[in-house]
Amino acid sequence: MAQPQPKSSPLNELCSALPSLPTRLQQVGRFVAANDYDATTRSMRELAAVAGADPAAFTRLAKALGYSGWDELRAALTEARRPEQSSPFSARTKGRRTGPHADVALVADKLEAEAAGLGRISHGAVANAARALRDAERIWIAGFRSCRSVAELLNYQLRLFRP
């Protein structure tokens, strides 16, 4: 049986397609390849301003690469940056635990999953965020969909320590 071929990353697709693109799209493509993190986190207009390009060039680039538009390419870039996980913790909790200490095993697994995530957090980034929150005159919190409970918790916690 043939092994399935791994899907190439959007950055590899972009780099492979660069020579065949028109000059202006090559410039935009090189900018996206060099700034792939910004491409996943900033708006198309912000990227265009920094790149010195027309925002529509990002849409044309995405379409030239076979995507329906910039949002689809940006989503693919975001997914490519996401670290591989063996399985999410939620999948591990669905199996029924047996034995005299099943509830303790669940808690231990949860703590283990959280400890594994702590190693990926930058201490400097947390310190910078804490400084920014401390120094901010006013903080607006928006939590949409699955982030609503996190936003409400942050709001509650900030009210404990800030006027």
DSSP string, 15-38: HHHGGGS-HHHHHHHHHHHHTHHH
pTM attached to this predicted model: 0.51
Domain boundaries defined on the chain: 10-81
Counted residue by residue, the chain has a size of 163
Low-confidence ranges of the chain (pLDDT < 50): 1-6
Radius of gyration of the chain (CA): 22
- Among residues 96, 84, 89, the alpha carbon closest in space to that of 113 is found at 89
77: buried, middle or exposed (CB in 10 Å: 19+, 13-18, 0-12)? buried
Strand ranges in 27-160 using DSSP code E only, listed in sequence order: none
Q: So what's the pLDDT on residue 58? A: 92
Distance between start and end Cα atoms, the chain: 65
- Among residues 106, 102, 39, the alpha carbon closest in space to that of 75 is found at 39
Q: Under CATH, what is the fold of the domain 10-81?
A: Arc Repressor Mutant, subunit A (1.10.10)
